[in-house]
């Protein structure tokens, strides 16, 4: 039976957890742990919905199912190694470029570690939710 109080609290905490997840991801994408910790926080946001409203409600609110997130995350993380190979360097060697924002003139460094961490982020969300949904449905 869904809890009214917990459902109300989730309505406010889920967006906050997702925002903190993105902050952890972005601040750590050039350091160890950014994608993993951010992915766990994002999965926690969905798990709060599972606790408050059930697995079916959480599945309906997700744009991609956990299995799809795992596959996309794995392919994204693996694709991060290809630019090094294409340039004749070892697999997973870091490649960097800069993105200049037109109106602000700010330069944002982008590299293959960000692509790898994006894959890890999606993979962790998908794997965690896949396990949690399996337990929640039993």
CA-to-CA distance for 83 and 59, rounded, in angstroms? 35
pLDDT at 136 over 90: no
For residue 64, give the DSSP letter: S
Which tens digits make up the pLDDT trace of 20-33?
999 888 887 666 66
Q: Average pLDDT, whole number, for the chain?
A: 88
pTM score, two decimals? 0.86
Decide: 67 and 126 in contact? Cβ < 8 Å.
Answer: yes
Domain ranges in the chain? 4-137
User: What ranges in the chain are assigned the alpha helix state H?
Assistant: 4-28, 34-53, 55-61, 66-79, 82-86, 112-137
CA-to-CA distance for 112 and 37, rounded, in angstroms? 18
pLDDT for residue 39: 94
Which tens digits make up the pLDDT trace of 66-77?
999 999 999 999
pLDDT at 3 over 80: no
pLDDT at 130 over 90: yes
Residues 6+ apart with CB under 8 A from 136: 50, 54, 55
């Amino acid at each position: 039976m869904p809890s009214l109080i917990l459902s109300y609290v989730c309505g406010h905490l889920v967006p906050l957890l997702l925002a903190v997840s993105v902050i952890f991801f972005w601040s750590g994408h050039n350091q160890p742990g950014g994608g993993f910790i951010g992915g766990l926080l994002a999965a926690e946001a969905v798990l709060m919905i599972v606790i408050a409203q059930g697995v079916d409600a959480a599945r309906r609110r997700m744009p991609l199912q956990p299995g799809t997130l795992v596959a996309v995350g794995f392919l994204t993380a693996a694709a991060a190694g290809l630019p090094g190979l294409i340039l004749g360097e070892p697999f997973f060697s870091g490649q960097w470029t800069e993105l200049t924002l037109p109106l602000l003139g700010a330069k944002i460094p982008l590299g293959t570690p960000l692509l790898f961490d994006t894959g890890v982020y999606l993979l962790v969300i998908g794997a965690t939710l896949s396990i949690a949904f399996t337990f929640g449905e039993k």
